Structure 1
């Protein structure tokens, strides 16, 4: 019966929903071609005139590929929307940088690669010095613009292979791939000096922004992100408590003489 060939029209939708865009495309294409050939072999009669046969063939072929095109476009749009939602979920709305969720996700991937290839991985925490005074003196709108200024500065002056994230408030985090703690210290210290020469300009004045940073090394200071962030945070706290506008990459000297300090 000709009615069985209605499945030619429904299979593309079903296959795209169940298999996804790539597998659904090839399955639908194969099914439609086989179905059209079977339909022509079974129902296109030599008794009909040529024009009628052409009309029947065109209707079957066009309706079949129209359904396949509809299913393909729908699935492609769904994938794009899903990717956009995932991107938004991992993005800080104020600065456009990665957020803490994306930072955690990226660390799992980068640390696994670092361990597999025995490459160094450095974790950095930045904190803007005396940032509260900007909000107090100029207002929170200017404070938000200052955060965006620093975010753009850091993004512009860090490598594309590294991950820069807003950690919260006026704190930023940076995962530096294939970078040991010595090299990381040099690069972050260069960033610190460059930021001092790149003031944030408002309509009324220029605001000089400085940062303090703490650095931790994957493996040497810990193997999970929480431990590394805790170590970097302690070094960052020491930097802020001892003058600000500096980078600390090693533990300070303790009362019993153990530990060392690099500024």
Structure 2
């Protein structure tokens, strides 16, 4: 299933898709695969697989530490395809969240080919703007992959329109300025950003950064097409005992999925 299709299924039910984030390679390669599979079973419609990077400028502390541990354990970009294939086999839609330098170094065409072969649906590229994405746009067209660009409350209408036109799957709306992580509340400008992005031509807009509770997921689901959650679930995997960690992840994800799905 494609990204847009998964979102549209939920839209047809008058609710939002639940999009969960987990980093590849943390706590280790095999455990990260099992965690992603558990997240799918717990109700995630779409799973963002994070590519660990040495300079994660957008990531908050929880995700930074997880990525650093993955890299220290020897994680390499090519290792992510095991996670992608595992998610695809569950029926959830696998996306990769990545800084573009990793794709550039791997080879844009090569990465698109290998990602598509593993069953991947598309990339979220937080540090890449459409104006500078010519190679990725060409590769994503060749391999029929979604490309998800970000917008923020500071984005002007012209930027929103350009991003909406270049994106495929959905546009990622950052609820607040700053790095990822949990927040006590959702920024009051989040709803307006979704409305502005839709008015600029976006077919689907999903909201992330700061969502960490079922109540927040339910709040965002009232106006966005998808609810994106990361740090709240990554924290579960810091538990050393794997059965305990997976049980915590499952409980957290089920509650957030229920919020996003309006249950």
The structure whose RCO (Cα within 8 Å, separation 6+) is larger is: 2
> 1 or 2, which has the higher helix percentage?
1
* Structure with bigger gyration radius: 1
